[in-house]
Amino acid sequence: MSKVLVIGAGGVGSVAVHKMAQIPAIFSQITLASRRIAKCDAIAESVKARTGVSIATAEVDADDIEATANLVEHVQPALVVNLALPYQDLSIMEACLKTGVHYMDTANYEPRDEAKFEYHWQWAYHDRFKEAGIMALLGSGFDPGVTSVFATYLKKHHLDTIETLDILDCNGGDHGQHFATNFNPEINIREVTAVARHWENGDWVETPPLSHKQSFDFEQVGQKNMYLMYHEELESLKTHLPEIQRIRFWMTFGDAYLKHLEVLQNVGMTRIDPVIYEGKEIIPLQFLKAVLPEPSSLGETTKGKTNIGDIATGTKDGEAKTFYIWNVCDHEEAYAETGNQAVSYTTGVPAMIGAAMILTGAWNAAGVFNMEQFDPDPFMDMLNTHGLPWQVKELDGPLAF
């Protein structure tokens, strides 16, 4: 039994603490903190109503290393689960180093003033965490996170080597809004509008954003258009599975979403550089975030399902093989259980499981690590028993594109 401090009171943080409260044998005391304590209190009320478990709440500015370290000292957790913004990863890691507490997040660091996310900033902390005798687990969401564990599970049980890997992320849900994002609008739009990159034959290949489209028939969702994008697990998987010759990430988008996004880009609303408005400096994308629907408010109206998985080609005993491993999550079922839609659910559940891996000692090492560096089996077992069951099947051959 262990104390845990969760920082971040959005949809993912809400799902994570709801799921933690269901397992008191692992999570004996939960504290939820964010910049606005009222959001934490509302989530705590939901957790109490749904599970009967009381969780503590706190207010903290996660950009402030000293304030975060002071909160950690006060709570005395075994682990800090960072579900705040990616900009805050390094400050929370510093607070964990100051207090000697394990760290975990779901998305890698990116600077506020540049739409660029890479692991090198966090990997640079490895020696400091190792010397402190504490662990940092990076990217314990779905993608990154589960998709990385899917890959290592396939390699452990079905393939001797993985030569090509495609990660397919489909959200077949409909929230009824003209335009809204299913997670933090600022992060979502920065990600979608970034230059696409994939790894092939030992180098990065770059293409314009949303310029490469394919169609795929997703089980329980149907035929959807998906677009080649860059995602951080490409960097870590090509590093830790060095035999991979090509790795790509695909995400589905509806035509209405893309049309709205195109207009917003054309009029400058997705800019992340400051502009002067009525004598004050504002960042257009942050203003856009303020006027768009809050992602955590979409759960009640969202219907449909997500389907996220990996298609891996490689060899087994010298024979070419292709396997597909995936999960389907229902928006309405996720909302009924936690009050949040499936995009938050599919990130919040793996966040809980990653925390459980650390707290139970199933994954135990000093330093900074990615998901694919550990035994996939205990994580995969918990996916099946805590709301994200998966399936795997052999395909006749690799993707045709």
Q: Mind spelling out the 3-state secondary structure of 179-211?
A: CCCCCCHHHHHHHHCCCEEEEECCEEEEECCCC
Instruction: Give the pLDDT mean for 50-67.
Output: 98
More confident residue, 258 or 320: 320
Q: Give residue 225's pLDDT band: very low, low, confident or very high (50, 70, 90).
A: very high
Q: What span, in angstroms and rounded, lies between the C-alpha atoms of 266 and 181? A: 18
Q: How confident is the model at residue 30 (pLDDT cuts 50, 70, 90)?
A: very high
- pLDDT reading at 245 higher than 70: yes
Give the pLDDT score at 392.
Answer: 98
Which of 206, 224, 207 lies closest to 215, judged by CA? 224
Task: Give the confidence band of 183 by pLDDT, cuts at 50, 70, 90.
Answer: low
Stretch 199-218: mean pLDDT: 95
pLDDT higher for 181 or 272?
A: 272
Pairing of strands 56-59, 27-34: parallel
The band of 125, judged by pLDDT with boundaries at 50, 70 and 90, is very high
pLDDT of the residue at 244: 97
End-to-end CA distance of the chain: give it in Å, rounded: 48
> What is the pLDDT averaged over residues 142-170?
98
pLDDT-based confidence at 192, cuts 50/70/90? confident
pLDDT over 80 (residue 172):
yes
Whether the CB-CB separation of 105 and 89 falls below 8 Å is answered with yes
E strand or H helix that includes residue 322: strand 319-330
Task: Please provide residue 228's backbone torsions phi and psi, each rounded to the nearest 5 degrees.
Answer: -70, 130
Position 118 scores a pLDDT of: 87
- Residue 39 confidence (pLDDT): 96
pTM tops 0.85: yes
95 vs 336: CA distance, rounded Å:
35
Least reliable range by pLDDT among 41-50, 53-62, 80-89, 251-260: 251-260
Beta strand residue intervals within 100-194, DSSP E: 102-105, 135-138, 161-171
Structure token pair of residue 164: 């090509």
What average pLDDT score do residues 99-112 get?
93
Is residue 368 within 8 A of residue 123, CB to CB? The reply is yes
Mean pLDDT score, 107-117: 78
pLDDT recorded at residue 296: 67
Closest CA to 346 of 331, 356, 363, 336: 331
pLDDT confidence tier of residue 182, bands split at 50, 70 and 90: low
How crowded is the C-beta side of 271, counted as CA atoms within 13 Å?
Answer: 12
* Integer Cα distance of 401 and 397 in angstroms: 12
- Write down the pLDDT at residue 189: 78
Q: What confidence score (pLDDT) does residue 113 get?
A: 67
Using CA atoms, how far apart are residues 224 and 168, in angstroms rounded to an integer? 11
Q: What is the mean pLDDT of the chain?
A: 93
Angle between helices 185-192 and 255-266 (to 10 degrees): 90
pLDDT of 187 over the 80 cut: no
Residue in the structure block whose two tokens are 């510093």 = 94
